[in-house]
Amino acid sequence: MHCPFCRHADSRVVDSRTSDDGTTIRRRRQCPACQRRFTTIETASLSVVKRSGATEPFSREKIVSGVRKACQGRPVSADDLALLAQKVEETLRGTGSPEIDAYEVGLAILGPLRELDEVAYLRFASVYQDFESLADFDAAITSLRAERAEREARAAESGTDGGARAAEDAVAPDGDGAGTSEQPADAVDTDGGTGAAGDEAPVRG
C-alpha cells in the first residue's frame, strides 16, 4: 500500500487490531521511506445486487429502515431492529459470497423478523413475497400456527404454561406494511395479465 504522505510504494504493518464486532481490522502501518505512520481499515466487502442489476454496499441502516414500517404499532424497539439487522448481516456474511442478491437479503430478514413479531413478519412477507390473495396470508398464518403449536407442545412437555396469545389479530392486509425501501419497483408479472407483456414476451416457434 502506498504511503499517503510521500507516495512510497510500500509500507510495513506495525500493528493489527480486530474491531470488537469482528467485522473490521485496523492496521497501523509505517512507511520505510519517510517513517511516518498511518492506519488502514480492512472490511470484507459485501454488496447487494438489486433487481436493476446495480450493486450497492450492504447497509444495516437499510435493513432497519426496510423493516421499520412493517413494525409500526408493534412492540418492537430500536434495539430489536438493530439486533435483527446484525443477524441479517451475519447470515449474509456467512454465505461467504461478496455479492448478495436483494432477494436473498429479504429472505435473510424473514426468519429473524418472524421470531421478533408475527404481525410485522406477515406485513413484511406480504410485500416482499408479493402476496396476492387471502390464500397467501392463509398459508403463511397456517405455517405460523403450526410452528406455534409445536412450540407450545414442547413448552407443555417441559411444564411451563406456554401462555401464548392466539394469532387471531395477525392479519393486516391493508397495505400498511408496504414499507420496504427495497420494495420491488418492477412487480413480478405472474399471469401475463392483459397479455401486454412487453419486450420480455416469450416468442416461440
Interface residues toward Zn ion, by CB under 5 A: 3, 5-6, 8, 31, 33-34
| Residue 3 vs 76, nearer CB to Zn ion | 3
| Residue 30 vs 181, nearer CB to Zn ion | 30
Q: How far is the CB of 26 from Zn ion (least distance, A)?
A: 19
- Euclidean distance between CA atoms 68 and 84, whole angstroms: 11
Grid cell at residue 175: 397495505
Q: How far is the CB of 29 from Zn ion (least distance, A)?
A: 10
Grid cell at residue 197: 407483456
- Euclidean distance between CA atoms 106 and 83, whole angstroms: 16
Task: With beta carbons less than 8 A apart as the criterion, state whether 41 and 32 touch.
Answer: no
Task: With beta carbons less than 8 A apart as the criterion, state whether 25 and 17 touch.
Answer: yes
Q: How far is the CB of 33 from Zn ion (least distance, A)?
A: 5
| Residue 23 vs 30, nearer CB to Zn ion | 30
- Euclidean distance between CA atoms 176 and 147, whole angstroms: 25
Closest listed residue to residue 81, CA positions, set 99, 56, 62: 62
| Residue 5 vs 153, nearer CB to Zn ion | 5
Q: How far is the CB of 95 from Zn ion (least distance, A)?
A: 39
